A and B are shown apart, each in its own frame.
Chain A
Amino acid sequence: MDLLNALVAFANFVVVPATAYGAQLALGALGVTLIYGVLRFSNFAHGETMSFGAMVVVLVTTLFQSWGISLGPLPTALLALPFGILATAILLLTTDKVVYKFYRRVKAAPVMLVIVSTGVMFVMNGAVRMIIGTDDRRFADGERFLISARDFKTMTGLSEGLAIRTTQVITVVVAMITVAALFWFLNKTRTGKSMRAYSDNEDLALLSGINPERVVKITWLLVAALATIAGALYGLDKSYKPLIFQQLLLPVFAAAIVGGIGNPLGAIAGGFVIAFSEVTLTYAFKKVVTYLGPDSWAPDGLVQLLSTDYKFAVSFAILIIVLLFKPTGLFKGQSI
């Protein structure tokens, strides 16, 4: 029986990675939820938007590295982040002007806009592949670990190590700052309030003189920032691969719907619910169980509920369960 080591192993393989992944999903889901709240459609191009933002960050980071600019122990990508957000904002505003604006004017059905967004997804996907190719890229530099497994072991004298990577800490810190700024914006500023009013009741907001085009524009700007940060953090934490973002679409949507689509608080909760269930259900608990039981108890198998390849099934199952029992999501949906 070795409770401490079991806890450390659990923290190292489940809590820490799931927290970082949850923060990334939450940021992605916030983007989906904002678009749903204001523009009232599920944006299938959101994964590619994240990919595009992350791609610009990768390119600018490489440029900075070649100039010898760095942030010391922190990854250079943080410096490149504003450029990524700017480029994505330009892309999204242009897309809105060229593509989506027309459908708002003719008051097209939401499902039409979803189909339109798949067209945008194709274009963005092609553009990203043409610009950067399909290779795997690692662009994290600076200090690799905040605490490495070996330091932790010598520090505490435990046999199990707890490694915390810099990128994981940065993910959580950046996500917290972003979310705090977003909520401050939505709740305290006049523009943010007008956005919430527009999302709650469009007609009433129009009657009180809120300019819908301005609200839409600001939404896209926020989405650009959220998507770029989410994509770049995901890329920093794992590695940047353009095709991976297509697969992130499902967990991101699941997070947004589980939390209650249209509700930012719900998106964050949904992100962590999805991330923790994915990681917990696909983690092999052999080590933890071995520490917990007496020596002779060591299990033969991996004590893994599902193989990691089925992590989609986890987000899907949670989605279905929530939809069946609480169709509006954990938090009340459809309001910013």
Chain B
Amino acid sequence: MTQSRAPLYFLIMALLILAVGVFQSWNSALSILNMGLISAIMALGVNLQWGYAGLFNVGVMGFVALGGLAVVLTSMSPVSAAWSAGGVRMIISLAVGIATIVIAIMAYPRLPKGRIRGFGLAAILLVGLWAFRSLFDPAVAAIEAIDPAVTGYLGGLGLPVILAWPVGALLAAGAAWLVAKTALGLRSDYLAIATLGIAEIIIAVLKNEDWLSRGVKNVNGLPRPVPYEIDLQGAEWFVSLCAKFGFDPVSSSTIFVKLLYAGFFLAVIIIIVTAMELALKSPWGRMMRAIRDNEVAAEAMGKDVTGRHLQIFVLGAAIIGFAGAMMTTLDGQLTPTAYQPLRYTFLVWVMVIVGGSGNNWGAVLGGMLIWFLWIEVEPIGGFIVNSLTAGLEDGSPIKSGLLDRLAYMRYLTMGIILLVVLRFSPRGLLPEK
């Protein structure tokens, strides 16, 4: 019954974006569209975990950031001086670190229980840590010493940037597998806290490991899958095309680039939604919903509940990582300090809940709508304040005080939207069928 509402809502969404184009500028309308599409993909990932399986993931930010890291590692050209200074040592040290952990895990069940096991494990870990640090520290120092103002890191593989998107999905899936291996099967709150923790750690790594992605010095100038505006403005065919329609080549070049991005993102969304809808209708999807609705019954039917949860958690995280890589590609730079849990974790949750958990189209709609509001709450609020205080002169303390506080309006608004939707329409705008 509710499916008929979907086209209407998407029409309204399109009109809202068109309105931004008419009243503000086409440039900002397309910016909202592009980030809205990326947010929609993040929401699809969370929807897969929450709507299909009831897994509560509050580490979205971490998986988004891993996607961003993937862009740097895949697409930047390698810094050969840094590689020759410490690249091999770095790889060996990381291998030693991983080997230590693997040996410890393998030794645990083999050692006799009691004091021997405790001391044995401690010895393995301490020796491993010492070996790791004695290789790792000089390698870091050597790598970071290479022209720190410009590089000071290993660089990437120099591959086309589009390849970074699936790599981002892989990185996020790997991290999700580690989290899920340890925290799934425990109580749902514990999974939430574990994901919260892993997200903070991923951000800490991005901020501090300068040899990996330059830390808080950011990586700028990431390659793009689309042409640069400045090249377009010099290109014969583009200028003549603009002249034919009477457009200004400078402003239309930015719009053209944004349209190209929108095309890429739309293609990704269509592929993901189609795949997810097919999966939902397949026996696998029915099994997932059965597990979500009654774990005990599903387990009694011989379904491997924890195994399926692991699978879906990793898949969802992969989608989020994919979106994270797309976002960093769109931004053109990796800024670890920009990753804030409210913005990247809890906002995505608002998108999923408002859109309708369990419904993929709902997640897409929620992603676009909430992103639109996130951006537009400030100008709308500014408009309201300005018209309410029109009688006051500029610089009056009330007016300037109100305008100063507008920047924080968005947090308040998002909270209220989430609470209102949860209270009065807990199934969201487009409920699960």
> A interface vs B, CB < 8 Å?
41-42, 44, 99, 102, 110-112, 114-116, 118-127, 129-130, 133, 246-247, 249-250, 253-254, 257, 261, 301, 305, 307, 309-310, 312-313, 315-316, 319-320, 323-324, 327
Contacts and interface: CB of A to CB of B under 8 A. Distances in A.
A319 B186 CA distance: 13
Interface in B155-201: 182-183, 186, 188-190, 192-194, 196-198, 200-201
Contacts of B412: 122-123, 126-127, 130
Contact of A125 (B190, B342, B353, B404): B342
Interface in B185-224: 186, 188-190, 192-194, 196-198, 200-201, 204, 207-208
A123 B415 contact: yes
Interface string B420-433: 00110010000000
Given A110-B189, A257-B193, A122 B183 contact: no
A319 B197 contact: yes
Given A126-B408, A309-B207, A310-B204, A118 B349 contact: yes
A87 B409 CA distance: 22
Most buried by A among B54, B182, B415: B415
B41 to A, nearest CB: 21
Interface of B: 54, 56, 58, 129, 137, 182-183, 186, 188-190, 192-194, 196-198, 200-201, 204, 207-208, 341-342, 346, 349-350, 353, 404-405, 408-416, 418-419, 422-423, 426
A279 B215 CA distance: 23
A63 B83 CA distance: 58
Given A307-B208, A320-B182, A42 B189 contact: yes
Nearest to A308: B208
A231 B186 CA distance: 30
Contacts of A114: 56, 189, 192
Main secondary structure of the interface of B (DSSP, over half): helix
A312 B201 contact: yes
Contacts of B350: 119, 122
Given A122-B350, A310-B204, 4 more contacts: A110-B189, A114-B56, A114-B189, A315-B197
Main secondary structure of the interface of A (DSSP, over half): helix
Most buried by B among A41, A99, A111, A133: A111
Q: Which 10 A-B pairs have the closest CB atoms?
A: A122-B415, A126-B412, A126-B411, A123-B415, A316-B197, A119-B418, A129-B408, A119-B419, A312-B200, A130-B405
Contacts of B200: 247, 250, 312, 316
Contact of B408 (A130, A247, A261, A305): A130
Contact of B342 (A122, A133, A312, A327): A122
B422 A125 contact: no
A232 B197 CA distance: 24
Contacts of B183: 320, 323
Nearest to B349: A118
A174 to B, nearest CB: 27
Contacts of A118: 58, 346, 349, 418
B310 to A, nearest CB: 16
A111 B188 contact: yes
Nearest to B412: A126
Contacts of B408: 126, 129-130
A162 B54 CA distance: 52
B246 to A, nearest CB: 45
Nearest to A128: B408
Contacts of B197: 250, 254, 312, 315-316, 319-320
Contact of B193 (A116, A124, A253, A313): A253
Contacts of A307: 208
A323 to B, nearest CB: 6
A322 B129 CA distance: 21
A120 B419 contact: yes
Contacts of B56: 111, 114-115
A29 to B, nearest CB: 12
A125 B418 CA distance: 14
Most buried by B among A119, A247, A254, A316: A119
A127 B409 CA distance: 8
Given A111-B54, A130-B405, A246-B342, A327 B201 contact: no
14 contacts: A99-B419, A102-B423, A110-B188, A112-B422, A115-B418, A122-B414, A123-B419, A126-B408, A253-B193, A305-B129, A309-B208, A312-B201, A316-B200, A320-B194
Nearest to B203: A312
Contact of A323 (B186, B410, B416): B186
A114 B349 CA distance: 12
A267 B191 CA distance: 19
Contacts of A125: 342, 411, 415
B196 to A, nearest CB: 6
A327 B187 CA distance: 9
A323 B410 CA distance: 36
Contacts of B194: 316, 319-320, 323
Contacts of A116: 419, 422
A42 B193 contact: yes
A92 to B, nearest CB: 15
A118 to B, nearest CB: 5
Contacts of A246: 341-342
Nearest to A129: B408
Contacts of B413: 126
Contacts of A44: 58
Nearest to B197: A316
B196 A253 contact: yes
A299 to B, nearest CB: 12
Contacts of A121: 346, 415
Contacts of B342: 122, 125, 246
Most buried by A among B204, B410, B419: B419
A126 B186 contact: no
B193 A309 contact: no
Nearest to B345: A118
Given A114-B189, A126-B408, A126-B409, A313 B201 contact: yes
A126 B410 contact: yes
A111 B193 CA distance: 12
B182 A324 contact: yes
Contacts of A123: 411-412, 415-416, 419
